[in-house]
C-alpha cells in the first residue's frame, strides 16, 4: 500500500498518485495488477497501471494520444491477444481473466466493448441486437422482442427507431448507430462495458446523448471509458485515471483530478499545458 499522501512534505509533489480503493466500502468489479503490455515482442507500451474499478460507477481514462489508454482498455477483455503480449493479472469475480485457460468468448459476454467508430452489422436494427443472442441459443421470438426493446430503451434509442426495427442499421445517423452498438452490447447483459472514445466521431448533440445514455446505464453496469474530452470525463465519470507515456500517473475521484490533482503532470494536462 502506498500512502502517497503521507510522503508529501513541504509542497513536494508525488510523481504518481493512485487512489487506494477500500474494498470494504466499495465493491470492486474489476482490477488490474502488474499489467505490462508489449507490442512486437519487446516494445513496452504499458506498465504501472494497477487500478481497481468500482461497480456501478463510471471511470474515465484520459491522457494524450499515444499514452496507452486504448492499449489498457483493450487488454481488459483480451482484445490485444493477437497483437500484443499482456503480462499481469486482470481480476474479475475472483478469476484472473488474463490467464490462458480462460474462455475469452464466454468472458466477453460479461465484459463488452464499444469502439470509437460505430460498427453496426449490415443488417436490420432488430437483427443487429438479436444476432449474438441467437448465436447464444436464444430463439424465442417474444423473448428476443423483449430484449430488443429493453436494450434500445437502455441505449436511449427506442423512441427514434421503434417503428423501423426492420430498417437497415446502416441507414441510421452516426450517433444513432453508436447508440445501437451500445444497445447491442447491453443486450448481452454484460457486467462491465468498455468504451473507447465512443463519442469522438460524433457531433455535439449525439455526443451528449451518448453521455446521457452512459449516465443511465451506470445503474446496472460498470463503465470504463476512454475519452480525450476532459469536459466529458468531468461530466460523467466518478473516477478518472490519467495516462502518460504508457503509465497511469494519477488515479483518483474525478472531482479531485479536476480540482486538486496531486501530480504536476496531471495539473499540466488538465490545464491544457502539454505539448
Residue 67 within binding range of Mg ion, rule CB under 5 A = no
Q: How far is the CB of 199 from ligand ADP (least distance, A)?
A: 15
Contact present, 171 and 196 (Cβ < 8 Å): no
Cα–Cα dist 266/274, whole Å: 10
Residue 70 within binding range of ligand ADP, rule CB under 6 A = yes
Q: How far is the CB of 272 from ligand ADP (least distance, A)?
A: 17
Residue 209 within binding range of ligand ADP, rule CB under 6 A = no
Q: Show the binding pattern over residues 16-55: x = contacts Mg ion (CB under 5 A), - = does not.
A: ----------------------------------------
> Cell numbers at residue 106, please?
464466454
Binding-site partner at residue 65 among ligand ADP, Mg ion, none, CB < 5 to 8 Å by type: ligand ADP
Beta strands, E only, 93-238: 95-96, 111-114, 192-196, 222-226
Nearest to 194 by CA among 99, 103, 24, 58: 58
Cα–Cα dist 236/109, whole Å: 24
Residue 70 within binding range of Mg ion, rule CB under 5 A = yes
Length reported for the chain? 275
Strand partners, 9: none
Q: Which of residues 215-274 bind ligand ADP (CB under 6 A)?
A: 243
Q: Indicate the residue among 40 and 94 with the shorter CB distance to ligand ADP.
A: 40
Residue 83 within binding range of ligand ADP, rule CB under 6 A = yes
Cα–Cα dist 248/68, whole Å: 9
Interface residues toward Mg ion, by CB under 5 A? 70
Interface residues toward ligand ADP, by CB under 6 A? 39-40, 45, 63, 65-71, 83, 243
Amino acid at each position: 500500500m502506498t500512502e502517497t499522501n503521507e510522503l508529501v512534505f513541504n509542497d513536494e509533489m508525488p510523481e504518481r498518485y493512485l487512489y487506494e480503493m477500500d474494498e470494504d466500502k466499495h465493491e470492486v468489479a474489476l482490477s488490474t495488477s502488474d499489467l505490462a503490455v508489449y507490442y512486437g515482442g519487446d516494445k513496452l507500451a504499458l506498465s504501472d497501471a494497477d487500478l481497481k474499478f468500482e461497480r456501478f460507477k463510471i471511470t474515465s481514462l484520459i491522457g494524450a494520444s499515444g499514452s496507452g489508454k486504448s492499449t489498457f482498455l483493450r487488454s481488459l477483455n483480451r482484445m490485444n491477444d493477437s497483437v500484443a503480449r499482456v503480462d499481469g493479472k486482470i481480476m474479475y469475480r475472483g478469476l484472473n481473466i488474463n490467464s490462458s485457460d480462460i474462455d475469452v468468448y464466454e468472458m466477453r459476454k460479461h465484459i463488452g466493448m464499444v469502439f470509437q467508430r460505430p460498427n453496426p452489422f449490415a443488417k436490420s436494427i432488430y437483427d443487429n441486437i438479436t444476432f449474438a443472442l441467437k448465436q447464444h441459443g436464444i430463439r424465442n421470438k417474444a423473448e428476443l422482442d423483449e430484449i430488443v426493446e429493453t436494450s434500445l430503451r437502455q441505449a436511449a434509442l427506442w423512441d427514434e427507431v421503434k417503428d423501423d426495427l426492420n430498417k437497415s442499421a446502416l441507414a441510421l445517423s452516426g450517433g444513432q448507430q453508436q447508440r445501437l452498438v451500445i444497445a447491442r452490447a447491453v443486450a448481452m447483459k454484460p457486467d462491465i462495458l468498455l468504451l473507447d472514445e465512443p463519442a469522438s466521431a460524433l457531433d455535439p448533440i449525439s455526443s451528449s446523448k451518448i453521455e446521457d445514455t452512459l449516465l443511465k446505464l451506470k445503474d446496472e453496469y460498470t463503465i470504463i471509458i476512454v475519452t480525450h474530452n476532459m469536459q466529458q470525463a468531468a461530466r460523467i465519470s466518478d473516477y478518472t485515471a490519467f495516462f502518460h507515456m504508457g503509465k497511469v500517473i494519477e488515479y483518483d475521484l474525478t472531482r479531485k483530478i479536476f480540482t486538486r490533482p496531486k501530480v504536476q503532470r496531471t495539473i499540466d494536462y488538465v490545464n491544457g499545458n502539454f505539448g
